[in-house]
Structure 1
Amino acid sequence: MAQRPASAAVLVLHGGRETGTGPPPSGPLNLPGTRMLPFVRAVSRATRASGDEVLVRQVRYAHRGWNGARADPLHDAVAALDVLREEAGEELPVVLLGHSMGARAALRAAGHPLVRGVVGLAPWCPPGDPVTQLAGRDIVLVHSNRDRMTSPQATQSLTARARRAGARSCMVTVRGGDHAMIRRAAAWHRLTTALVTGLLGSGSLPGPVGAALALPPTAEPTEGTLDLDADLGPGPFQDRTGAAR
């Protein structure tokens, strides 16, 4: 039986370093890449269960770091999107799923014609990064309030700037989480899967997220910021405790 053509795709971009021109290690030694495997598996299971033919691929980096103006992972992301366009055509909707440096690359690559949305986990959002490329896209950023590697305040600021630039954007705070997404791991996985499949149309987007994405450009940053426990729970996105730790 011939395989049905893909109806959508998810590109997964793992984290990295601020600087580092050497290639990432391979296999399990690439810890940032390994960290995203549970997300890859969860999204793949969910899209299969929906009956949709969704490609889920991890982007391979040529270099470990962002490396200043070189923005190396951005070019890797764009190259992966161009490959998808060659394989599946101009109409393939793509959601970018990135963590930390990978989320920064996803946000910067969101102007590519295939991209419909970005889900950024613990994103690295420097204040001067552009947002005009996010116009017309759905942007959901998820950040722990205890993150010590990247700034949740910077994420909230970028969410508001993106909305003013024409994006549909919001932020979800995971109380008691951490940058590596190990604390409250199950909640991170379930929420991320719901966001990705919801943006693709393979599942239902959480109601409060949909409402936040519909806010007008003039909305205050706090209006577009949701709390996982207070606004989305209790429910399927909770871990076993159902509360911040």
Structure 2
Amino acid sequence: MTQQVEPGPTARLGRAVGAPATVNGVVLVLPGGEPESARGPSPWAYAAARPLARELAAAGGSEGLAVHLVRYRGRGWNGGAARLAADAQWAVEEVVRRYGDVPVCLAGLDMGGRAALRAAGHEAVGPVVALAPWLPGGAADEEPVRQLVGRQVLIVHGTDDGRADPELSFRLAERVKKANRDTCRFEVHSDGHGMRQHRGEVRALVADFVLGSLFGRPYARAVADALAAPPPLGLRMPLASGFGAGGRS
């Protein structure tokens, strides 16, 4: 069990995107943030995260998937306070309180990706997705990884990311893979931080991974190959153009 987290009265779950009659699994989408800030949550970060939430809700509605955006207390990670990770941990506890014994996926963008990886220790958490995870210099060698043992981990990063260094996420993925075989990382070549040029492929990849991990659907071949491949192959898997279009790749 993880330590109880009390993030305060302003952290909350947004309204569920999609409302299945019976909830069999939950995705918590974690928006980005800033390294240091006392300001409130960023409306831009939530707007950037909503399309992924809608995509996952549409893909998993028939399975009973509920998707929530996590509403942080503020936008700052703030050093050792790791506030975004604390709010993510609180959100998992809140899902358990609302829905009971259902599997939970943490899916984060930017600094929300770091929060997803950091907050994965709760026993309800299964799959963890980090899209272009932001890490400060040196953190790739210092971030904890033991909380990811027994989870299914997907990291996706654009090779031309100018905000969050993709080599840092690769180094972190190497450490995670040593502790947990069920780890893969995809590279989106010639794309930037938001991976906008290949947004359709990225969302299809995430949906395939999440539904496969939560509900036992067979993974697309590329995902299965990436999970099975030894490093560095399974941690530098190129995301094929057209992934998910007209069928599974």
- TM bin, normalised by shorter chain, reads 0.7 to 0.9
Q: Which amino acid aligns with 1:95?
A: C
Name 2:169's counterpart in structure 1: 155
Correspondence 1:56 to 2:64: no
Change (3 A) 1:45 1:130: same
Name 2:117's counterpart in structure 1: 107
Q: Which has the higher mean CA deviation after the structures are superposed, 143-152 or 185-194?
A: 185-194
Name 2:236's counterpart in structure 1: 225
Shift of 1:167: 4.7
Matched length: 223
Change (3 A) 1:177 1:237: farther
Shift of 1:205: 1.9
Name 2:30's counterpart in structure 1: 13
Correspondence 1:236 to 2:247: no
Correspondence 1:32 to 2:45: yes
Q: Note the alpha carbon deviations across 1:33-73, whole angstroms, 9 max, x for none.
A: 1011111111111112xx22111001111011100001000
Q: Which amino acid aligns with 1:85?
A: V
TM-score (norm 1): 0.84
Gaps spanning 5+ residues in structure 2: where?
1-19
Shift of 1:181: 2.7
Name 2:98's counterpart in structure 1: 87
Gaps spanning 5+ residues in structure 1: where?
239-245
Identity between Structure 1 and Structure 2 (%): 33
TM-score (norm 2): 0.83
Change (3 A) 1:154 1:141: same
Contact 2:29 / 2:69 at 8 angstroms: preserved in 1? yes
Name 1:124's counterpart in structure 2: 134
Partners of 1:77 and 1:235 in 2: CA distance: 29
Contact 1:157 / 1:221 at 8 angstroms: preserved in 2? no
Correspondence 1:208 to 2:216: no
Partners of 2:222 and 2:174 in 1: CA distance: 17
Shift of 1:183: 2.3
Change (3 A) 1:237 1:228: farther
Over aligned residues, Cα RMSD in angstroms? 1.9
* SS of alignment partner, residue 36 of structure 1: helix
Contact 2:52 / 2:203 at 8 angstroms: preserved in 1? yes
* SS of alignment partner, residue 63 of structure 2: coil
Name 2:155's counterpart in structure 1: 141
Shift of 1:7: 0.6
* SS of alignment partner, residue 113 of structure 1: coil
